[in-house]
Structure 1
């Protein structure tokens, strides 16, 4: 069809575009991005919310992502999902719908774009294989953006940050090994040397002023210094046997000073020792990645933690779900779990009294997104990507993330309603 036939000379569509050169650029951008011609409006016409795109030194207005064009509305996609907290969590009796952060993102995306979809349930490794082989169009859960995944299937823009962390038990009781380890730390060692140094100093002062006047102090023998040290230590410990006592005025003054100073030093030392030993009870079994090689480690099958321990040649027990790994950690069948930082933080938050903690410094940092099969319609994919970003930066997502990783029982808006028709569900892969 010729340009004149599609847009007559006095067409209300073409006339404003001739008057506004910027509208021509907007029209071209809409065509490049796959938008339908009906979505491109003149600058003078009422428009839906728009974004901006830098083109050279000018800002061009574009419309994209608020709704599918008419010819793409009602698009039916094959979506896959798995139980992977806090991204996607399977329905329960209290919550008979899919919930989670990733579920919220997909719910808003499908709702805003008018996407119809079937929903198939997989395990996490099977979900990745399904989107890789083209059995599904979109893998709905938090999938780390790592080279291994990028080479297997397409990935949307990230909607959250995660990483690889270590979850481990906290020492519940003091053992001889843990006490010995804490005693030889620098803080306690300094105090021990300080006490012994002051005891030796006052022993020498006592010996100098008492050796010629105190019958219990030998004048010439080296034993006299030993007797003075004995007096100094019994005074420091507030034992006061009375077998060695000062008899001179200077000796009594030195003894008085040492009793007051020794009491102060012992009080501070007792507080330091108590705090250090208490901290020993709160020490995690695993403190860094170098200790993993000698510990019993658990990972989720096919997870980023699995990839990490395989690369690092760390022996590990593999579990079908993170819930199984957490249960093994609670039952002391393993010492640590290597896995997704966000998933571990969420699961640990559910068991606050089980002495399980996630180390504050992650081993690696990464971002999570949805997976898409290669060959998905590019214009549809762009709209899906934009809707994902919109939800990721929304206040609704921020509030839900804070509630899920903080107060677990907060009201949930992250449900994914089932499609309008019966969902096609596959059994979980082994």
Structure 2
């Protein structure tokens, strides 16, 4: 980050300052865009490029990288769904949820049919013939599973009572599973209903930054996106509803969302893909070995870990 006085700060900047102080390097910072950070080192304009630079095979052909100083992945920022009754109800009417309801009804029908089969001759008053009797069996299996137990139907035969006993214990497991599925459905639907993970990206409007490692990943996955000059512009477009998701380096996104003014923006849990940040140096640079030694000593220490937690907060 650059303050109004022109002074630079940030995790990578502070890391470089400590390395340079230990090694006695004199240096000055020169501002550049992402492409210029690589090309500037490759053509000799800069001795090193410091920032959230992802180590990739394409970049490695132009420059040398130090050992990674931060492993991460890509993150997805989305606009949170408004917590209305309509949005909550919408989470129940998913294909998977309806499939589960139909499967449960089919199971209740099978168990109800068994009750009718063993009870119809000895208990015709409660489990009569035909569709009415099967319906009574379905009703009894349903109220038994939900532990309501109205008492209007009850098995009289030993076989019926045995089936009812087994069904009572089995119903405990079924209800627990069904309750967990409902809770999972509601949790997954807390954020944007359109995007719950990277698999949803091909069907929505996505934003990212051109000529970045995220660009390479999205292009490789066949996911089209709108390019923005920086993370702030992308998150502004997300707030305005111009895009459904903004994809970029997870720690940078997490920091910007955490520090931003729009409380309706949030990060989806977890990361995807693999990224390693490193310092770019010229091919065959004499700086490589001493910088690596100092860098590794820094990232192995508690001060680096504390600074990461302080700056980025906890990961999802």
Q: Which has the higher helix share?
A: 2
> 2:294, 2:27 → 1: CA distance?
16
Match of 2:9 in 1: 99
What is the CA deviation profile of residues 95-119 of structure 1, one whole-angstrom value per residue up to 9, with x for unaligned ones?
x842222012111122222322222
SS of alignment partner, residue 360 of structure 1? coil
After TM superposition, the score normalised by the length of structure 2 is 0.75
**Gap regions ≥5 residues in structure 1:** 1-88, 219-223, 409-430
**Given that residues 168 and 335 in structure 1 are in contact (C-alpha distance below 8 angstroms), is that contact kept between their aligned partners in structure 2?**
yes
Instruction: Please name the residue that 1:314 is paired with.
Output: 223
Structure possessing the higher radius of gyration over alpha carbons: 1
Say if 1:343 and 1:178 are closer, same or farther in 2 by CA, change over 3 A. Answer: farther
**2:130 equivalent to 1:225:** yes
How big is the shift at 1:401? 1.5
- Name which structure has the greater RCO, CA cutoff 8 Å, separation 6+: 2
Number of corresponding residues? 301
2:303 to 396, 399, 405: 396
Aligned twin of 1:54:
none
Q: Distance in 2 between matches of 1:169 and 1:192?
A: 36
Give 3-state SS (helix, strand or coil) of 1:103's partner: helix
Looking at structure 2, the residues matched to 231 and 315 of structure 1 have their Cα atoms a distance apart, in angstroms, of 55
Q: Report 1:341-380 matches (<5 A).
A: 341-350=250-259, 353-354=263-264, 356-363=266-273, 365-374=274-283, 376=285, 378=286, 380=287
115, 119, 122: which one aligns with 2:29? 119
Q: Does residue 90 in structure 1 map to residue 5 in structure 2?
A: no
Cα-to-partner distance string for 1:72-108 (whole Å, 9 max, x where unaligned): xxxxxxxxxxxxxxxxx22269xx8422220121111
Are positions 1:281 and 2:195 aligned together? no
Kindly tell me: are residues 288 and 407 of structure 1, through their superposed partners in 2, closer, same or farther at Cα, counting changes over 3 Å?
closer
Match of 1:192 in 2: 105
Tell me whether 1:145 sits opposite 2:55 in the alignment: yes
Cα pair distance change 1:143/1:217, threshold 3 Å: closer
Residue pairs, 1:20-99, within 5 angstroms: 89-91=1-3, 97-99=7-9
Deviations 1:58-79 (A, max 9, x none): xxxxxxxxxxxxxxxxxxxxxx
Structure 2 unmatched ranges of 5 or more: none
Does residue 1:385 correspond to 2:292, yes or no? yes
Q: Of 41, 63, 68, which aligns to 1:131?
A: 41
Q: Using structure 1 for the length normalisation, give the TM-score.
A: 0.58
Q: Residue 164 of structure 1: SS of its match in structure 2?
A: strand
> Structure 1 residues 269, 199: closer, same or farther in 2, change over 3 A?
farther
Q: Residues 272, 383 of structure 1: CA spacing in aligned structure 2 closer, same or farther, 3 A cutoff?
A: closer
